[in-house]
Amino acid sequence: ALDSVAGIRAVLCLFEGVCTGAADGYGRMTGSPALTLLHLGPGFANGIANLHNARRAHTPIVNLIGDHASWHLEHDAPLTSDVESLARPVSAWVRSVEHANELAPAVAEAIAAARTPPGGVATLVARSDAQWNDAAGPRAAQAPAPAPAVPPKRIARAADLLKAPGSPALLLGGAALRGDPLRRAQRIAAGSGCRLISDTFVPRLERGAGVPPVERLPYFPEQARAFLEPVSALVVVGSRPPVSFFGYRGQPSLLAPDATESFVLAHPGEDLAGALDALAERAGSAEAAPSLAAPPQPEPPTGGLSPETLGAALAATQPEGAIVVDEAATSGLPWFLASAGSPPHDLLGLTGGAIGQGLPCATGAALACPERRVIAFQADGSGAYTLQALWTQAREGLDVTTVLCSNRSYRILQVELARAGIAEPGPVARSLTELDGPPLDWCALARGFGVPASRPANAEELATALQKSFAEPGPHLVQVDL
C-alpha cells in the first residue's frame, strides 16, 4: 500500500527503539503523529523505552502493530505474546482490531487520540486477517477533542498568588515553553514581577538570543529545593508540581519547600494559551515584550577538551534555528549555561529518563525539519543504546551533527554511588560504571553505519569540526574525548 497511497514517507530503521524515538522527535517538532510500523509484541517491546519518553513528553504518536491472524492466536505460535499488556504502560489509547471493516475507523480514532491535547501515544494492534480481508473504503479523519478551557476560579486563584507579597514564579511546561504562549508568559512576568521556570527535562523549549529566558529547575533534589526556596508560590502551567527524579533516603519526593505554595493553573491537556491570556488580564502584563539584554554568544574556546570547552565551542558555533537534542547527561550543563545567548534554537530533553533517546529523537527531528540543523548532543553510555540511528541518518541524508561526549563511563552512576555514601566503590562496582577496556571507537562505529566522523584533539579543532559539519549537508559525528 505504501507504493499506491501518496503522501507517506517510509523511513527504515534498524531497530524499533530508533523508530519510536524518531517518531517522538518528529511529533515534538510538528505536533502531528508519525506512524511506527512494528512487528508483533517483541518488535513493539523494543520500542517501549522511547515510547516511555514520548508519553512523558505528551508527543502524538500512532503505533501500528501487526499481530497474528485472529484465528492463529489461540495456537500460541512462537511470536505470540500479550501485546496489550506491553502496550498499556506507555499508551494513552490501545485497541486491537480483528475485522477488516474496523481498521479504517480505528486508525482514524488512533490519530485523533494521539492529537487530543496534550498529545499522546496511541497503539493499534491489527491482526493480519484484518489487514488482508476486504473492507469498505477509507474513513475520513476524525477531529481530536479540543483542549478544555481552564475554569475562571483557577485563573483568579493564580492571579491572587502572583499579586500576593513574596516572590512567585510560573512553572511552564508543554506548549507554554515556546511561541506565543511563552511570550505571553514573559509579559506576565514583566508585568507581575514573577519568575519563569521550566522543568529540568522539557519536551521542547525555545531559547537563545531574543527568546524569553526561562530558568531551568536543577536536577538533584537538594539543589532544586534550594532553587525553589525563595519562591513564595509556584503557578504551574502545562506541567505538574515538580517531583524528585529519584527518591532518596530522608528526602521528600516533592521538590517545592513547605513554604512554597504549588498551584496548578493549567494541566497539560488544558488550553494553556487561553489560561495565560486570562491570567495576563487578571495579574497584569507588560504592554510590549521587554527588551532583553541577552548574554553574549561565547567566543570559540581554546585549550584542551572538557565539558566546559565543549559547551563553549558548541554554543559559539551552533547555527540559527538549530534543534539541540540534549542527552549529554553529566557532560551537558556547561553548554546549557553557555548557550543562553546563542542564536535562537529549540532544546529537546529526556522527558522520561529512558536513555537511548538522543540519536533516534534527532533523526526524527531532522525528518520533520529538513531546513534546520539538528545537533544530537549525546553522552556515550546512552548513545550506545540506539546507535543504529546513525544508519538512518546516513540513508536519508539527514542534517544531523552528533556531538558525542566520550567520557568512557556511566558518570551519573558514579555520582549516585557517591550520593549513596559509597565514596570509594570496590573494583567490581567501579567496573560496572566504566566504559573503558576497550574504549568505544565512535568514529569507527559511525563509519560502519555510513556516517563520516572526526575526532578533534583540542577545543580549536573541535570548533572547526563543528563549523564544517554545520556547513555541509548530511550527517556527521564528532567524537569529543572528555
State yes or no: residue 429 binds a copy of itself (CB under 8 A): yes
Q: Which is nearer to a copy of itself, 75 or 153 (CB)?
A: 75
**Residue of 99, 253, 302, 304 that binds a copy of itself (CB under 8 A):** 253
Residue type, 343: P
Choose among 107, 108, 110: nearest CA to 131.
107
**Residue of 142, 232, 244, 464 that binds a copy of itself (CB under 8 A):** 244
* Min CB(239)–a copy of itself separation in Å: 12
Distance CA 222, CA 250 (A): 11
For the record, the C-alpha cell of 342 comes out as 546563542
Give the footprint of a copy of itself on residues 263-302 (CB under 8 A): none
Q: How far from the centroid of its chain's Cα atoms is residue 356's Cα?
A: 11
State yes or no: residue 204 binds a copy of itself (CB under 8 A): no
Residue type, 181: P
126, burial (CB in 10 Å: exposed 0-12, middle 13-18, buried 19+): buried
State yes or no: residue 93 binds a copy of itself (CB under 8 A): no
Which of the stretches 98-106, 298-306, 324-332, 348-356 binds a copy of itself when contact is defined by CB under 8 A? 348-356
Distance CA 67, CA 309 (A): 50
Which of the stretches 64-72, 113-121, 163-171, 290-298 binds a copy of itself when contact is defined by CB under 8 A? 64-72
Q: Which is nearer to a copy of itself, 294 or 412 (CB)?
A: 412
State yes or no: residue 195 binds a copy of itself (CB under 8 A): no
State yes or no: residue 257 binds a copy of itself (CB under 8 A): no
State yes or no: residue 473 binds a copy of itself (CB under 8 A): no
**Among all chains, which residue has been given the C-alpha cell 553522552?**
379
State yes or no: residue 201 binds a copy of itself (CB under 8 A): yes
State yes or no: residue 250 binds a copy of itself (CB under 8 A): no
Classify residue 14 by its DSSP letter. Answer: S
Give the footprint of a copy of itself on residues 27-46 (CB under 8 A): 40-43, 45-46
State yes or no: residue 356 binds a copy of itself (CB under 8 A): yes
Residue type, 479: Q
Q: Which is nearer to a copy of itself, 304 or 353 (CB)?
A: 353
Distance CA 220, CA 223 (A): 5
> How many residues in the shown chain lie near a copy of itself by CB under 8 A?
83
CA-to-CA separations, 178 to 12, 238, 259, 347, 367, in angstroms, rounded? 31, 12, 29, 10, 20
Distance CA 59, CA 345 (A): 19
**Residue of 22, 38, 48, 264 that binds a copy of itself (CB under 8 A):** 48
Q: Which is nearer to a copy of itself, 192 or 479 (CB)?
A: 479
Residue type, 161: L
Distance CA 49, CA 237 (A): 27
- Whether 139 contacts 109, CB under 8 Å: no
**Residue of 187, 300, 442, 482 that binds a copy of itself (CB under 8 A):** 442
Which of the stretches 10-18, 93-101, 307-315, 465-473 binds a copy of itself when contact is defined by CB under 8 A? 10-18
**Residue of 28, 68, 184, 225 that binds a copy of itself (CB under 8 A):** 68
Choose among 139, 61, 51, 58: nearest CA to 100.
139
Give the footprint of a copy of itself on residues 363-422 (CB under 8 A): 381, 384-385, 387-388, 391, 394-395, 420
Residue 390, by phi and psi: left (phi above 0), alpha (psi -120 to 50) or beta?
alpha
For the record, the C-alpha cell of 330 comes out as 553529566
**Residue of 106, 354, 389, 459 that binds a copy of itself (CB under 8 A):** 354
Residue 430, by phi and psi: left (phi above 0), alpha (psi -120 to 50) or beta?
alpha
Q: What angle do CA 59, 366, 460 make, to 5 degrees?
A: 120
**Residue of 210, 432, 457, 473 that binds a copy of itself (CB under 8 A):** 432
State yes or no: residue 243 binds a copy of itself (CB under 8 A): yes
Q: Which is nearer to a copy of itself, 45 or 156 (CB)?
A: 45
**Among all chains, which residue has been given the C-alpha cell 527503539?**
17
**Residue of 108, 135, 156, 254 that binds a copy of itself (CB under 8 A):** 254
Q: Which is nearer to a copy of itself, 30 or 81 (CB)?
A: 81
State yes or no: residue 86 binds a copy of itself (CB under 8 A): yes
State yes or no: residue 143 binds a copy of itself (CB under 8 A): no
**Residue of 152, 431, 457, 472 that binds a copy of itself (CB under 8 A):** 431
- How many residues are listed for the chain in this entry? 482
For the record, the C-alpha cell of 84 comes out as 496489550
Which of the stretches 63-71, 187-195, 287-295, 334-342 binds a copy of itself when contact is defined by CB under 8 A? 63-71
Q: Give the three-class secondary structure for 59.
A: coil
